[in-house]
Amino acid sequence: MEHKIGTEQAEAVFRRYADMIYRIALHDLKDPADAEDILQEVCLVLMTKRVPDDEEHLKRWLIRVTINKCRDLSRSFWRRNRESIDDYEHLEADKPPEIIEELRQLPENYRNIIYLYYYEEYTVSEIADILKMNVNTVKSGLRRARERLKSYLTDTQVRKGDGNDQ
């Protein structure tokens, strides 16, 4: 016999079988993100469809739903037509120096100017246009941001050096 279950019952069943559902999906799809998606989809089915009454049939039903959802995902247009990112490693840009923390310390207007200039490679006049600023304001902001970054980086190097001398 089948019946709809309430939210609390569905949550209890889901907690009991979530690991099993995830393992089946991961085994089938070999991708943790896809397995998590299947786990969510099975949870939705559990909450919206009629489920078997007894425990053994419920477990089998969940396994079947999981396998069907995995099969649906495997057959989907998106899954069949995606390419591995590994095929495009040759296009990867050189890794920028690790100055993220120092950049975050800058005031927002300086961060934006530095980001647009160095990471997006806009010219000073293009940045002025984007940020609706005067060109000279962007130039002075770029100069001041560089000075602050230099100060932050110098302080960081000094702190690192002090720690190594002891």
Q: How far apart are the C-alpha atoms of 53 and 5, rounded to whole Å?
A: 9
The 3-state DSSP class for residue 112 equals helix
Specify whether 14 is located in the same domain as 74: yes
Q: 41-72, pLDDT tens digit by residue?
A: 999 998 888 888 888 899 999 999 999 999 99
Specify whether 24 is located in the same domain as 76: yes
CATH of the domain at 25: 1.10.1740
Specify whether 16 is located in the same domain as 36: yes
Mean pLDDT, the chain, as a whole number? 83
Specify whether 108 is located in the same domain as 40: no
Tally of domains in the chain? 2
Q: How far apart are the C-alpha atoms of 94 and 72, rounded to whole Å?
A: 38
- The least confident of 28-37, 40-49, 90-99, 149-158 is 90-99
In a domain, 86, yes or no: no
Q: How far apart are the C-alpha atoms of 66 and 59, rounded to whole Å?
A: 11
Specify whether 150 is located in the same domain as 102: yes
Specify whether 106 is located in the same domain as 137: yes
In a domain, 62, yes or no: yes
Which residues form the domain of 45? Answer: 2-80
Using pLDDT thresholds of 50, 70 and 90, give the confidence band for residue 32: very high
- The least confident of 26-30, 63-67, 75-79, 98-102 is 98-102
Specify whether 46 is located in the same domain as 110: no
Mean pLDDT, residues 77-86: 71
Q: pTM for the full model?
A: 0.49
User: How far is Cα of residue 163 from the mean position of the Cα atoms in its chain?
Assistant: 34
